[in-house]
Each structure stands twice: as C-alpha cells, then as structure tokens.
Amino acid sequence: MKYLFTITLITTCALTLSSAQEKYSSPVKVNKNPDQTFTTFQNDQPLSLKDQLLFNKIIEIKNSGEISRQSEMNDLLKEFNQHNGLIEKPAENYDGSVFTYPGNGSNKIVSQTDFIYNGLVKSFGTATEQTGTDKGRAWIVYTHGNFSSGGDTLEIYSTDGSGNYILRAGAILSANDYFYGGNLDVEIVEKLSGDKILYAFFTYATINTAIRRIGGVALDINSGSVSIFYLQWPGQTNNEKYYNVHITSDNSVDSSLTWIYIACSMDSIGTGGNWFYGQKFAYIAQTTVTPTFTYRADVLPVYWQSGDHYNRNLFTDIAYFRDGSNTPSLIFTYSNIPDSTKIWLTKSYFTGNNAAFLGTLGSSYHISNSAVVAPGGTGNQHIMIVSTQNWQNSGDWDLISYKTIDGGATWSEVFIDSYSSTTTNLPSWPDIYVKWKDRNNYRVSYSLGTDNPVWLPDSVMYVESVASPNNQWENPVRISTPNVFQPDFNSKVGFLGNSADDCLVLWSDINFGGLYATYCAATSDVNGEQQLPQNYSLSNNYPNPFNPSTDFEFRIAEPGFVTIKIYDVLGNEVASLVNEEKPAGSYKITFDASGLSSGVYYYRLTSGSFIETRKMVLMK
C-alpha cells in the first residue's frame, strides 16, 4: 500500500492567528426544488412595465447620490408602493424614556477581557464608524434588567481611543415591557454630509402576555439627539409574535441617500392550535432620528404552517448586495425550520418586492442557526453565510461557511472549525461581520461547548478569513478562558479601526451574568523575523475532499515527541506520518493516499498533552 508524505518546516513570520489555509472546500449546488412537506414558497408577481420604469427611475436617483432629488424620489416611491403592497408610515411612538450624555458619561476601562457591565445582560451588539475623523470608533449597545418585571434599560457606549468606553445615550422601557433575551442588532449610517445615525433594533415583550414586538432606538452621533420607537406592520395583531430582528444598510455604495433594511421572524397561532411562520420586511428611506418606515404587508415568499402545535424559534438574517445587472438587492436567510437540514434563501429588490425563493443550502445533515453578511459595493456579488452543521447527524457539530461570488447562483462550502467530537468543542450561535466593500476579510465569533450530559458553553472563539476572495479561513483562536467565564450562547463580532484594524468581540457570561468586551490583535515581529508559535494547532486539510493528495499544517509550541497518525472510521490506524522528536515550529504535510480506498478518514496530532483530531474525505 502506498502512503506518501512530505513535511516542510514553515519559516514565514508567525501571527497570533494560524497561517492561511483553506479548510474544507467544495462547490455546492443551490437546491431550487426542496421538499415542501413543511415549508412553502410563493414568489411575487413580476413588476408591470409601468412599475419597472418607476423602479428604474428610483435606482437612477439613488445612484446619483443627489440630495436635491430626495423629494422627487419620495414621490416616485409613493406611486410605486401603492402598486406593490408597500405601506409607508412614521415610526410608532413608544411609551418609554430616553437619556443622553454629551460625550462624557461614566467610563469603562477595557484591556483584553474586562467587564462592560456586571449584571443581568439580555442582548447586545456592536458597530464601528468607517468614515470621518472618528473612523475606527467602536460603539457598543446592550440591554439589561431582570426576568421578573419590566422597565429594562438600553445603554449606548462608544470607545474614546484610549481604552475607555463612554456612556453616550440610552432608553428605558415602560414598566410593563422587557427586552427579549439574545436579540439586538446595530448599524451606523454615515453620510457625505458628516451626519451619522446609530440604529439599534431589538425584540421586546410585555409582561404576562404573548406579545413580542420589534422596537428601535436611533441616536444622532453628532448632536446626541435620541429617540425610541416601535414597528407596526399592516394588519399586525397581538396574536402575532415578531422577533429575531436583523438590519443592514446600503451605506457601502450610497453615502447620500442611504437606506436601512429590516427583517425579522414572525409567527402566529391560528384555529386548532396550528402555528404560521414567516418573515417580515421593512425599510427606512430617509435615515433620521425620527424615521418613517415602509412596510411590506405580505410575508416574504418562504413561509410555513404547522400542524404539530409546536412553537419554534426561527432565525432570520438579511444582507444587501448588487446582483449581476448591478440592481440593488437583498438576500434573506431562514433557518431552524422543521426541515432543519436546510438554510432557505430569498432574494428581492432593495424595495422588498419582486421577492422570490432563491433555493436552499445544505445536505441531509442538520443545520442550526445561520448568519449572513455581504460587503456590498458596486458590482460586488459576494455573500458569506456561516452556520453550524451536525456532521453525518452524529452529534459532531462543526462550524461551516457558504460563499457566493455571483449573487447566489453558485456557492462553495468550507468547514471552518471541524474538531472531531460528539461531546466537546461543539460550536454554536455564530455571528459574522465584514467591512464595507472588503470582500476578503470576514470575521466570525461563536461559542464552543460540551455536550456531556447537557450542552454547556465553555469558551468564546474568534476566526477571520484569509485575505483572499476565496472561501478560506485562518485557524480559530480562543478568546476567553475555558470553563472560567462560562460564556452564554451569544457573541457579537466587530472591529476597532486602529492601525492594526483589530477585532472586538462582545460576549456575556452564562445566565446573562455580565457583558465582556475582548480586544484581539494580530501581531507579528516588528523586525520581520520568524517567531515561534505560541500554542499548538492542527489545521484542516486542503483540498477536502481530495484525490489522491492533500495538505495540512501543524504548530508545535515546545520541542518534544510528535506523532501524526491516520485512522479509518472504525478507528484502525492506516498510516503513521510523524513519529519523532521535533523542535518548536510550524510545519506543513503533504499526504498522498493513493493506496487507500474512498471514504472518511481522521488524522490526529499528539505532542505532549496536546491531542487534536480532524477529518478528511478521500474521494476517488
């Protein structure tokens, strides 16, 4: 039998993140004809010729960026909306209160992992300014309160460039309302005029009722003016629950007539105890502290009606991009539905109409929560989705990514974190972020936990993509101390725009017991000399699937005896690649499996007390 391999010592300058390599990569076909036993899709009717001409004119004005044509565009939108089931009305006044500070509120000091707030945190988010003199200033929004009463508080902080977080503004809910845990999204609109508006959208609920609504806070970053409001879709009743709200903008291509786009999950219970599930959409065409919303009255094309009387928590996300004809477009993801092996995709015009089912991603393996992001930019059809997948439905959950560079026509799939275990190092609840027009640098945070006997998070992880248009990722790094801080399920990722353009990850302690901000930087030797690895790691192999050879890398932090062995699915050793003393360093292996048959194999690195196993697929 033939097992060929070569080992190369890597002498490039080391970063705190592992060196670049693509993990698992394969083309993925979008399934346009999925099983509709549980889920239905009904596409919008194409625009009439008159409405298409109106739509083209609206795009022409938006692309011009001429503020003087705002009223002209508003008149066109009113006519267009009347024909297409879109309802425009001001934000609903919310019976709460707001407060603001002129840039000198209470300070919070953050170094690597410090408290932002010590108490019951319910939801949080972050966004960063990307233009102007304050470019790189990060903003943090979080909510806190208790589980027994209303009157919860939302607070907005900004960094000051010196490691401090400054309380800038906030809002307080009415005595009967409370923030629904885990759901808050933040976006900053930045205009050529210098105006900057921060929007934070959230889910809130009313005590002793089933009511869940979408609310929002808007802050004028320059003046300090702040407002609180809620959304009311046409026909919305108290029997309908609105939740899992996510927002995006077209600021990457439009810094004059910028819009905000909002999507959320919706469900309601009907006669006989059956549940109806769908997605709702709205947008803001004039971004001010007192916004007016345009609502899509109908649900988006993908919806589901249950006969099992079981209420589910459905996950919705949204991203803005330009399609192949440079038409401003939106993509919506929908997951956690009864067909839990799929991520359902919908595409629409930026106005929310002409919506159509785009297809599904996934195979026969169960998928958990998904998140989507797009860098935007003229002619940029790049979109990235991250999710968790139950490999072979065996309990071995992995973090995966799907990327398209053609607006959703074709996708590639990559395993980002594919640690092989059914009880430990199980990823969940990923969040993803990308800067405007930067199609090469995506950032992801997620929780890592154990499942013995029940799922319990023990770490927060961070990973960023390789500086390449391909679907490639660095090795994930742990940014919290395992089993010490006991992170909750959720984390949010962003960046601090200093010279290193470093990451910022927010996460809460288990049971929502406090909010942490972790600052993480990629550093290298200032003299450009080789640095020894600071930790042990074993990368995923590339390509994967492969035939007959594949590459992977490993790092050794201290000199010692090292073994790397290959096993089949039954645990039989089929090859030994390394079995010797090695100095600390970074190494690359090329493995030739010409003598093996097709199938799933595992390769294991052992060095001292460090053991790590990863899987690969030989496909002849």
Say whether 21 sits in a helix, a strand or coil. Answer: strand
Helix (H/G/I), strand (E/B), else coil: 53: helix
**How many CA atoms, within 13 angstroms, populate the side-chain half-sphere of residue 146?**
3
Per the omega criterion (within 30 degrees of 0), is the bond before 453 cis?
yes
Task: Give the 3-state secondary structure of 67-134.
Answer: HHHHHHHHHHHHHHHHHCCEEEEECEECCCEEEECCCCCCEEECCCEEEEEEEEEEEEEEEECCCCCC
Scored b (16 or more CB within 10 A) or e, 518-538 reads bbbeeeeeeeeeeeebeebbb
Closest to 304 (Cα-Cα) out of 44, 42, 39, 41: 39
Compute the half-sphere exposure of residue 580: CA atoms within 13 Å on the CB side of its CA. 5
Query: Which of these, 196, 183, 290, lies nearest to 242 by C-alpha position?
Result: 183
Which run of H or E residues covers position 190?
A: strand 177-190
Instruction: Name beta bridge partners: 561.
Output: 581
Q: How many CB atoms lie within 10 A of CB 272?
A: 7
Where the chain has pLDDT below 50, the residues are: 1-3, 5-25, 103-113, 483-485, 499, 522-532
Residues 269-278 have pLDDT tens digits of 766 667 788 8
Of 392, 336, 346, nearest in space to 367 by CA: 336
Q: Could you give all domains of the chain from N- to C-terminal order, each with its CATH number?
A: 4-16+531-618 (2.60.40.3080), 48-83 (no CATH), 89-520 (2.120.10.10)
CB 345 within 8 A of CB 358: yes
Neighbours of 453 (CB within 10 A): 7
Closest among 579, 443, 597, 455 to 520, alpha carbons compared: 443
Backbone angles phi, psi at 19, to 5 degrees: -65, 160
Give the span between the Cα atoms of 213 and 504, in whole angstroms: 29
Q: Do 251 and 190 meet the contact criterion of CB atoms below 8 Å apart?
A: yes
**Rg, Å, the chain Cα set:** 25
CA distance 293 to 284: 5
DSSP 382: -
Q: What is the pTM of this model?
A: 0.80
* Pair of tokens at residue 552: 């992977």
Q: Give the whole-angstrom CA distance, residue 328 versus residue 333.
A: 17
DSSP state, residue 3? -
SS3 of 242-263: the string is EEEEEEEECCCCCCCCCCEEEE
**Quick one: pLDDT at residue 13?**
25
